[in-house]
Amino acid sequence: MRALGLMTCCTLLLAGCSFTTAGGLTECESSADCDSAQVCNEGFCLPQPVGCGDVFGPVSKPNTIPLGAALPLTTSEGRDESEEQALNSIKLVIEEVNQREGINGRNFILYICDTGSDAARAREQAQWLVNEKAVPVVFTSGSAQTIAASSVTIAAGALMMTHTSTSPDIATLPDKTQGAAGLVWRTAPSDTLQGRIIGDLLQGTVTVADNATAFANTNKVVLSYVDDPYGQGLSGVVLRRLTQPQVTSAKYNRNADVTPVVTAISTQLPDVTVMVGFSEDNAKVINQLATQGTKGRKWFFTDAGKDPGLFTNLGANKDQVNGSYGTAPAQARVDADEYRQFRNRFQAAYSKDPGQFSFTAHAYDAMYLVALGTAYAAGPDATKPQPITGARIAEGLTHVTPGAGVSAPVYALGFTDFISARDAMRTGTIINVKGASGDLDFNNDTGEAPSEYELWKVENGAFKTVQLIKPSAD
C-alpha cells in the first residue's frame, strides 16, 4: 500500500488497514477498507455516487442475491411519483419471491440509486452497481438513461432490465457479447407501435370509443417533444404516420426552457398538440400559455405524461387538461386475472391505484422475469448451484416464450404461479408467461415484446382508460 505525504495508520499490524492523508483522503486497497458509504477508487476512499445508498430487502441474511436499480425517482421539480410507484412494484415482487424461499433458499436484495433524471449520473451509478456491488442485473428507466448506462452494464456482462424505456434505439444496442441472448431486455414495447396508434387516432383511422368525433377536423398539429432518444424516437414515428394534417415540430431540453414549444403553439394555434414529454415539462408549457392568455387548447399526451404529477405541477390550471386524451402501453386490463391480482396486491400494500400511473404493471412483470431468469441461471441442483450471471439470466429469459407452434405450460407472473414457474425454469423447461401488463411474447433476438395500448382520458384530475388498441401494421 502506498503512502503519500503526512499520514496516520489505523493499526499497522492489520492487513489491509487504511491510511488517512494530510488532505483527509483515506487510502485503500479495496472497498472493504472504506466506510459503508464509500468506494475504493484508484487507491482512495471516495463517496459512493450521488443518489445511491438505499437498500431494500433482508440485508442481514447471508448469501443474498444482489440486484441494482438506477431510476429517476426525482426530477427538477421534486419527487417523481410514477417512478416511485414503479419501484414499489419491484419491491412488492421481491417481498413475494423472498417469502417463497427466493432462489435455492437465497433472498434478493435491491441496491437503489436515484438518477435525478440525469443520464450521466445513471451511467455513473450503473458503474458503481456492477463494479462495487457486483449485481448481475440493473433495472433502469427512461430511454436516455437506459442507453447511457447500457455500455457500462453490457461491458460488465450484467443484464439490463427496463420497464419504461420505449425508444426504438433500445432494440439496436450491441448487447450480444456473451452468447446468443442479448443483455438488454424490456417489458415496455417499442415506440414504433405507440407512434402508429397516435397517428391513426389523429387521422381518424381508429375510432375513439367514447367520442367518435374527438379528433374530427384535425388539420393542424403541433408536435412537442423532449430532445432526447425517447422524444426523438416517438415524435419521429408520429411525424411519419401523420400524412394528412399540417405538422409543426417544436423541441426542447428536459427540465429546461420550453419557450420554443410555447411559441409554436401560440403562433400556430393547432387543432391538437401532441406532447411527447414528461409531466413536469408538459405542465410548464401549459402554465406559460395560460399566463399569456392562450387557454382551451386540445392536448394529446404520451405514456410519460400519464403521471399524477401533471396535475400537481399545473396547480390552478389543471382544468386545462380535462378531457384530454393520451396513450400508454396497456396495463389497466380490468378483465385480466393477472392484472387484477397485481392491482389488488398493490393497493393493499401502498393504498394507490396502479392504473393511475404508467408502467407499474410493467415493473412488476420485469422483476418476476428477473426472478425466473435467476432460477434458470442457478440450475436444478441446489447443492451445486451454477453461477448467477447476467448472461445466464438472459439465456433463461429466452425460455419464457415458446416458439411458433410449440406447446408450453402457461404461468402467470405473480405469487400464485411463481413456485411452479420457478421449478420449471430451474430444469430448463420452456414456459409461456402471462404478465400483469399482458402476454409478453418476447422476440428473443431483441429482448422485447409487442403490446396493446390503452387510450386514456383525463377526467376530473384522474386517468380513465377508454379502450385498448392493437397497433396496426406499419
Q: Which amino acid is at 459?
A: E
DSSP letter assigned to residue 21 = -
pLDDT at position 46 is: 76
pLDDT at position 335 is: 84
Nearest CA-CA partner of 218 in 236, 193, 243, 194: 243
Q: Give the span between the Cα atoms of 180 and 447, in whole angstroms.
A: 11
Say what the alpha-carbon torsion angle 238, 242, 247, 251 is, to the nearest 10 degrees.
10
Q: Give the span between the Cα atoms of 184 and 178, in whole angstroms.
A: 12
225 φ, ψ (degrees, to nearest 5): -150, 145
DSSP letter assigned to residue 187 = S
414 φ, ψ (degrees, to nearest 5): 170, 175
Reported as a single tens digit per residue, the pLDDT across 222-245 is 999 999 999 999 999 999 999 989
Those residues of the chain that have pLDDT short of 70 are: 1-24, 31, 36-37, 41-42
Q: Are 321 and 310 a contacting pair, CB within 8 Å?
A: yes
Q: Are 19 and 29 a contacting pair, CB within 8 Å?
A: no
Q: Give the span between the Cα atoms of 437 and 458, in whole angstroms.
A: 21
Q: Are 309 and 334 a contacting pair, CB within 8 Å?
A: no
Cα 182 to Cα 78, 306, 372, distances in angstroms: 35, 30, 16
pLDDT at position 19 is: 56
Residue 288: which H helix or E strand, with range?
helix 279-292
Nearest CA-CA partner of 70 in 93, 88, 87: 87
Nearest CA-CA partner of 341 in 451, 453, 401, 417: 417
Which grid coordinates are listed for 273? 398538440
pLDDT at position 3 is: 35
Q: Are 470 and 442 a contacting pair, CB within 8 Å?
A: no
Residues 6+ positions from 49 with CB-CB distance below 8 Å: 113, 121, 124, 125, 127, 128
* Torsion 351-355-358-359 (CA) sign: positive
pLDDT at position 66 is: 98
Q: Give the span between the Cα atoms of 100 and 79, in whole angstroms.
A: 32
pLDDT at position 267 is: 96
